[in-house]
Homo-oligomer: A and B are copies of this chain.
Amino acid sequence: MKIRILAFALLMILSCLSPLRADQPLTVAGVLESSKPEDWRRLEQDRLLYLELPVGQVVFELAPQFAPRHIENLRKLVRQQYFDGLAIIRSQDNYVVQWGDPASEEEGARSFGDAATSLQPEFYRKAEGLEFIRLDSHDVYADEVGFVSGFPVGRDGQRAWLAHCYGMLGVGRAIEPESGSAAELYVVTGHAPRHLDRNVTLIGRTVAGIERLSALPRGTGALGFYESEDQYMPIVSMRFGTDLDDSARVELEALRTDTQTFEKFVEARRTRREEWFVDPAGHIELCNVPLPVRPFNK
C-alpha cells in the first residue's frame, strides 16, 4: 500500500528538488530553475490592475497593444473609483466569473463620469507590428497560434487577437459589438472557450490570485448569475498599480516569451520527461502552455 502515492505528485516534487544537469533530460521544473534573470521581465505597475476583494487581491496584467481604447476607458473608470462597492455578479461553472454594476440596467445605475459608455470593438488588430513568437502546433481555432509579450495569441494572415485561455480578462458586451465599455469585466475560469475569440474584446490576463475568482460559489441563476444580493462578492476597490502605495503593490516578473528558455520550457511541456509519464504527448496546445509568473525580489 505504501506505493500508492498521491497521484502525479511525487515525481513533480522530486524534479523540483533536482537542479538541471547537462546530462539530464529537460523537465519543466528543470528549465525554470536553470533560467537566468534576463529571461524574466518585471511587470510594470502601470499595466497592473488590482481587484481588491474582501477575501484578498486579484492582479491582472493588461495588454494595451491589443485593446488600447478599452484599457484607456477602463483607466478612466478606475480613476473615478467606478468599481468600488460594485460586485461580482456571476460565476458560471467551467466558463467565466463576471463583475460590474448589479444595477446597470436600472434607474440607480452608477454614472460612467467622463468614460465612454460604448466603444469601437477591439476584437482583433493588425498582425503587423507585433513580435509574434509562433508555437509550433496545430490549433483547432486559428491558422497560427503563439505568444506576444507573454499573452496567448491567435493569428491569420492579416489579423492577430488575444486567445480565450484560462485566466484571460475580457470586456462583457451586449448584442451590439460596440456595447462593451470595460465597465463590466469577466475572467475565463474553465476550459478555454475559444469560440469567443474575435467576438469580444480581451484586455489582459490574471497574474495573481485567480483562485479568489475561480473558487467562488457558482451562481444558481441562468448562465451562473447570482440570484440575490447576498450572494454577490463585493468589490472593495479596483486600482492601477501606479495609484497604489508600495505596501499595497505586488512586484512580479513573468518569463519572457521571446527567449530560448521559454522555447525549452514549451518543449519540456510538449514532451514530458518526468518519470511519471509513460507516453509523453509530443504535442502541446496553446492554452496548455502556462505562462510563468513569480514574485520579483529587488
- A residues apposed to B, CB below 8 Å: 1-13, 16, 89-91, 93-94, 96, 98, 100, 104-105, 109, 112, 117-118, 123, 137-141, 165-167, 171-177, 179-181, 183-184, 186, 190-195, 197-200, 210-211, 214-218, 222-223, 225, 269, 272, 275-281, 283-285, 287-288
Contacts and interface: CB of A to CB of B under 8 A. Distances in A.
Given A123-B278, A174-B3, A191 B223 contact: no
Contacts of A275: 175
B98 A7 contact: yes
A41 B4 CA distance: 37
Contact of A211 (B93, B123, B177): B93
A4 B194 contact: no
A175 to B, nearest CB: 5
Contacts of A287: 191
Contacts of A100: 6
A41 B118 CA distance: 46
A14 to B, nearest CB: 9
25 contacts: A1-B104, A1-B105, A1-B109, A1-B117, A4-B117, A6-B90, A6-B104, A7-B174, A9-B222, A10-B174, A11-B175, A16-B222, A91-B215, A94-B214, A123-B279, A138-B140, A141-B283, A166-B191, A175-B276, A190-B191, A191-B192, A194-B285, A211-B217, A211-B218, A214-B218
Given A140-B138, A175-B10, A191-B287, A94 B3 contact: no
Contacts of A165: 191
A4 B140 contact: no
A3 B184 contact: no
Nearest to A145: B140
A186 B6 CA distance: 10
Given A184-B4, A210-B93, A191 B194 contact: no
A179 B278 CA distance: 13
Given A5-B104, A93-B214, 8 more contacts: A8-B223, A11-B175, A166-B191, A177-B278, A194-B281, A198-B278, A215-B215, A215-B217
Contact of A2 (B91, B105, B123, B272): B105
B190 A166 contact: yes
